[in-house]
Each structure stands twice: as structure tokens, then as C-alpha cells.
Amino acid sequence: MELFSKEVSAKAKSLIETCVETREQEMGRLCASGHEVWGRLKECLELAEKEEKNAAKLHKEIWKAIVEKNEDEAGIELRELGKIAEELAMFWARAAAEAYAGGNEL
């Protein structure tokens, strides 16, 4: 079983392309310099790293709740992990958009 269908992958790619187009429309350009691109990517990576640590910690807590047969707690934590995963997806989509924008502009 594929983790992502071709349809989901196409939607993700479309989101990234929309981010790049929006950046160009709002700023009149994609980026000012390589330094700007590097800084924006650094910010994305730092935010993603922080959320990945939160996700790893929560993943351990989910296992603890499962082993203790605490389904209510596991459900709460799973929904929280879903929110973190959404944030991570957005950070990575933004990183992809920044990288493409920089690559197209520089």
C-alpha cells in the first residue's frame, strides 16, 4: 500500500505551487537574495525540528496510554499528534515553496 496516493501527492504539489505564486504576487518577486532564501529555510527547519521533538515525545505518551489500556488518553493524544502532523506538513510545504522560489529566482 502506498503511503500517499497520486491524488494526494498532486494536491500537495499544487499547494506548494500556490505558495510560490502567492509569494510572487505579494512581493512582486520570489526572493531578494540567497541570504533571504537561506534565512527563510532556516526558520522553517527550526520550527519543524521543534514540532518533530514534540511529536516524538507525544508518540511515547501514546504508547504508554495504549499499554495502560487508557483509551480516552490515547485518543486525546492521537488527536493532538494529528494536529502536530498538520503543522509539520505546513512547515515542510513552506520549506519546499521557499526552496523552489529561491531556485527559480536566483
Least confidently predicted of 5-9, 37-41, 73-77 = 5-9
CB 95 within 8 A of CB 44: yes
CA 86, CA 101: separation in Å to the nearest integer? 22
In this prediction, residue 71 carries a pLDDT of 96
In this prediction, residue 3 carries a pLDDT of 61
CA distances 30 to 23, 27, 49, 72, 99, Å, are: 6, 7, 25, 46, 10
**Greater model confidence, 68 or 21:** 68
Amino acid identity at 81: L
In this prediction, residue 1 carries a pLDDT of 46
Q: What is the pTM assigned to this prediction? A: 0.73
CB 13 within 8 A of CB 89: no
